[in-house]
Structure 1
Amino acid sequence: MVEAPKQFSVLGLPIHLLDDYDHWLGTRLLQRVGSHVVTLNAEMAIQAEHNDALAGIIRKADLVIPDGSGVILYLWLQGQRGRRCPGIELAESVLRQAGELGKSCPVVFYGGSPGVAQKARQVWQDKLPELAIAGIEHGYLSPEEEQKFKQMLKDQQPGLILVGLGVPRQELWIAQNRHLCPQATWIGVGGSFDIWAGIKTRAPVWLRENHLEWLYRLYQEPWRWRRMMALPQFALKAIGQRLA
């Protein structure tokens, strides 16, 4: 059994500090130790201040990774060493590890617009022919379709479930349904299916390395500007905590 990672508080929310998130989570995947992974960024942290249910779920998660540059800034201001761990990269690493396990670790994709998860599945199946993808569903199921999907999860007991419903919906959905597959690794992957399917692209590496991936996302999705207002709010809170 792997040890619990070191934990630090970011605006009252936990963040786990590890040198190798991939290995820690991959070991739990191999051992079939149920895990809920939350990819914390500034936007989610600000949402959690006004959403008690989301905050409670983050506090109960088995692994909370520093997904956003704002979280890394907060840690730096508090004298903590941490490296950014983008959720999409962690999910890709875990998918590769699931591929090595083959049929003993079935994978499920849930979320995105109709057809997107199917395209993402084909991309991954071409990359990893041994990857056992047990189920694919988009994120706009009717109540009846969702019940059938949940029954499939219960029957199939996949080892890895990637949920791309956006924040906070994916976190709430995982918390409500995790009991269906208690030994699975559950990860909220946001818009990762869109990127894997080729519908959207990630920021160039130089933008990522300079902590400006948020700016590229705003360029791709200008309608997000209201949500991006959480970034300066978070930065001010981080600086205020440091001064205090």
Structure 2
Amino acid sequence: MSNYEPVGQEVILGKNSRVTILNTLIDVLTMKETVDLVEQYVNTKTPLHLMGVNADKINEVNRNERMKQIVNSCGIINADGASVIMASKYLNKPLPERVAGVDLMQHLVALSAHKNYTIYLLGAKQEVVIKTAEVLQEKYPTLRIVGVHDGYFKEDQWSEIYEEISNANPDFVFVGITSPIKEYLIEFLQSKGSKAVYMGVGGSFDVISGNIPRAPLWMQKCNLEWLFRVMQEPKRLFKRYFVGNLTFIKEIRREKKKA
């Protein structure tokens, strides 16, 4: 674990309400409301760790005090999981919709191309992140990509990463690195003074680059995107989704009984 001082509670610009699900704060926001709110952070140069939580992340919050501190201190916390939306309704704390990370990233990239904001891509294998940049640049010719870096570096190189990002001075940094290293890294970069909007994007670079296909639209609409992901990477994701979801459901039922 990193030995730096935590950033602490971020400035919260929005006036939207929040709910608590299994010790995790979540904003009551739609996709559009999220994009509009994120732009306020960009325009005011207010640091933001844009967080998305699914069942797996909430499970991590409840077994990792450091992760709990990081997640609940973020300026924006979205529900990035169908199970979280269903749980919110079951607990009578309804959230409006799933704000999927890969979709939110693309909305913010489109916004950046339109408003001349700059982006930095950090994570994945070198060939994947470069291909992601090429795909985005082709789709949005006016997009300003000010930096690209793979995700294969050690903690003793974090200061070098900070210097590269600081020199590039992006408005957005999209981070495609596995948790919880991703969250620790973002906290470190913010602790050094970076004022960009940081967003962890999971496997979005793999999807955008075409390295891994995304679930068909009908599976997305039926809340089965998680199953498609397991089918693509069963060895890596079976435990996370099947065992993790059972744990999540068990804890949600326990919370319902307390209400």
Q: Same fold (TM over 0.5)?
A: yes
Partner Cα distance (1:96, 1:140) in 2: 27
Equivalent residue, structure 1, for 2:208: 196
- Could you report, residue by residue, the CA deviation over 1:115-138 in whole angstroms, capped at 9, with x for unpaired residues? 111000000000111111111000
Q: Give, in angstroms, the shift of residue 192 of structure 1.
A: 0.4
Structure 1 position 100 matched with structure 2 position 100: no
- Could you report, residue by residue, the CA deviation over 1:64-100 in whole angstroms, capped at 9, with x for unpaired residues? 1000111111210121222111011111111111112
Q: Which has the larger displacement, 21-30 or 57-66? A: 21-30
Q: How does 1:35-50 map to 2 (within 5 A)?
A: 35-50=48-63
Q: Give, in angstroms, the shift of residue 144 of structure 1.
A: 7.2
AA at the equivalent of 2:54: N
Q: Which has the larger displacement, 200-209 or 147-156? A: 147-156
Partner Cα distance (2:150, 2:246) in 1: 33
AA at the equivalent of 1:119: K
Q: Which has the larger displacement, 40-49 or 181-190? A: 181-190
Q: How does 1:1-244 map to 2 (within 5 A)?
A: 2-19=13-30, 20-82=33-95, 83-102=97-116, 105-141=117-153, 146-180=158-192, 182-223=194-235, 224-228=237-241, 229-244=243-258
Contact 1:153 1:180 in 2 (8 A): no
SS of the residue corresponding to residue 175 of structure 2 reads strand
Unaligned runs of 5+ in 1: none
Identity of aligned residues (%): 23
SS of the residue corresponding to residue 115 of structure 1 reads helix
Counterparts in 2 of 1:147 and 1:28: CA distance versus 1, 3 Å = closer
Contact 2:158 2:185 in 1 (8 A): no
- Could you report, residue by residue, the CA deviation over 1:115-172 in whole angstroms, capped at 9, with x for unpaired residues? 1110000000001111111110001135676543321212222110000102211111
Contact 2:55 2:81 in 1 (8 A): yes
Partner Cα distance (1:167, 1:194) in 2: 16
- Could you report, residue by residue, the CA deviation over 1:21-40 in whole angstroms, capped at 9, with x for unpaired residues? 12211232233222111110
